[in-house]
Every structure is written in C-alpha cells, then in structure tokens.
C-alpha cells in the first residue's frame, strides 16, 4: 500500500501544525527595553550619576575610536607609494587594535548600566574627528590625519580618566589609562616615525658636516 493512501498516517494539516514551533518568528516589533541615555542601575557600587557621567564620556570616546578604526581600514585599502607594503600591514594591525578598544569601551558602557552607540549613522553624528575625503590621498597625508585623530582621542581620554578618578570610577579610569591611552600613544610612535625626513639609502653627509660646524 502506498504511504499516500495510508489513512492511518498523519494528515498534511497535522504535519503543518507540528512544524509551527520550528519556524522562526519574523518581523517582530516592540518598544525598546531601555532607551538610549538612560541608566539601568547594576549593583557595581557606583552612584547612578557617576555611571551616567562616565557612560556619556565613553560614548563620545567610542564614536571617535570607531571613526579612527574605520579610517585605518580606509587607508589600509587605499595606501600607495614605495612604502605601500609596510603601511598596508601597519594600518591593518592598528585597525585590529582599535577594534579591540571599541569592544572594551562598549562593554564598559554596558557594565555602567548604559547603552553604547553602535550604528554608523550614530557614530557619524557623534564623532569629533573630521571626515576624510572618499578618494585616495598620499601616504603622508593619511598618516597626518591619523596622528591628528590619535591626538584628539588622547586629549579626551586623559580628561575623562581624571574625571573618572575624581568620581571614584576606578574601572573606567583603568580602561582609559591602561588600554586607551597606552594603545594610542604606542600607535602614534609607530606612525610618527614614518614622517621623519631621512634618506632611505645614504646618509646626508653635507647636512651632518654643517651641523657639526
């Protein structure tokens, strides 16, 4: 007897009914469980006002760090010239390190009971770093832009670290000093050395002699 003619078997409707629980529930909508800018207080031993102030600072830093991270990837793709290979690798390495900072800053914001920004449109509205042109620029200009962005982040990170320390927010202070500031300072060093004007093959003996005289 064919299975199709087996009257004792489950009907199509029964089979259809049995698969409903396995289907994904798409196109769902509901109100936000926590609005942006509001604190959902966690028991971390900090006053809610302290959490809110640190989270506001960190969201600004997050927007700027995400912008710097993406600028590194842009320059990684578009770099040109005789130092292409070295800068191509360096920019990608720094991009990865900035990406780690992005995650650490965002997680700290969440630990404080706040909401971290995430979408590109929100980052673009918040960041203080000027938007670079879409097209390709010469490597020295790319490096100069990165150095300016690093300096902006370092200045605000130091100010925010002092504020966090004064408020007793040791976790935020430690993140800013141990991770954000130290990582950005080290990257500045690696970048800045590429803008020192020295010959690639032979030392300039004329300038050296003039300097001694």
Each residue's pLDDT, cut to its tens digit, for the chain (213 residues) gives 455 555 556 676 766 676 777 788 889 999 989 999 999 989 999 999 999 999 999 999 999 999 999 999 999 999 999 899 999 999 999 999 999 999 999 999 999 999 999 999 999 999 999 999 999 999 999 999 999 999 999 999 999 999 999 999 999 999 999 999 999 999 999 999 999 988 877 877 766 555 565
Instruction: Give the angle 186-189-91 at the CA atoms, nearest 5°.
Output: 80
Contact 83, 47 (CB under 8 A): no
Distance separating alpha carbons of residues 104 and 99, to the nearest angstrom? 9
DSSP H helical ranges for 168-200: 170-174, 182-192
3-class secondary structure, 31: coil
DSSP H helical ranges for 12-47: 12-18
Distance separating alpha carbons of residues 213 and 203, to the nearest angstrom? 17
Residues sharing a CB contact under 8 Å with residue 151, sequence separation 6 or more, in sequence order: 188
Distance separating alpha carbons of residues 115 and 107, to the nearest angstrom? 9
Q: Could you tell me which of 50, 198, 64 has the C-alpha nearest to residue 131?
A: 64
Longest dimension (CA), the chain: 109
Q: Could you tell me which of 98, 106, 107 has the C-alpha nearest to residue 180?
A: 98
Q: CA neighbours within 13 Å on the CB side: how many for 184?
A: 27
Distance separating alpha carbons of residues 37 and 213, to the nearest angstrom? 63
pTM for the full predicted model: 0.85
Whether the CA torsion 49, 53, 120, 96 is positive or negative: it is negative
| Torsion, CA 17, CA 21, CA 26, CA 29, rounded to 10 | 110
If one counts every other C-beta atom within 10 angstroms of the C-beta of residue 23, the result is: 7
The pLDDT value given to residue 6: 55
């Amino acid at each position: 007897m064919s299975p199709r003619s087996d009257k004792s078997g489950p009907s199509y409707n029964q089979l259809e009914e049995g698969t409903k629980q396995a289907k994904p529930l798409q196109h769902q909508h509901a109100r936000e469980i926590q609005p942006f800018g509001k604190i959902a207080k966690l028991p971390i031993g900090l006053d809610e006002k302290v959490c809110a102030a640190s989270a506001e600072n960190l969201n600004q830093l997050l927007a700027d760090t995400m912008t710097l991270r993406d600028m590194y990837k842009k320059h990684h793709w578009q770099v040109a010239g005789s130092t292409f290979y070295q800068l191509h690798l360096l920019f990608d390495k720094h991009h990865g390190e900035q990406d780690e900072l992005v995650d650490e800053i965002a997680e700290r914001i969440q630990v404080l009971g706040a909401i971290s920004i995430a979408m590109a449109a929100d980052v673009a509205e918040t960041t203080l770093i000027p938007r670079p042109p879409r097209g390709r620029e010469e490597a020295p200009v790319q490096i100069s832009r990165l150095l300016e962005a690093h300096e902006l982040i370092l200045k605000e990170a130091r100010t925010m670290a002092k504020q966090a320390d004064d408020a007793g927010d040791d976790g935020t202070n430690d993140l800013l000093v141990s991770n954000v500031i130290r990582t950005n300072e080290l990257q500045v060093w690696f970048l800045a050395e590429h803008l020192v004007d020295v010959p690639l093959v032979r030392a300039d003996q004329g300038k050296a002699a003039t300097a001694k005289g």
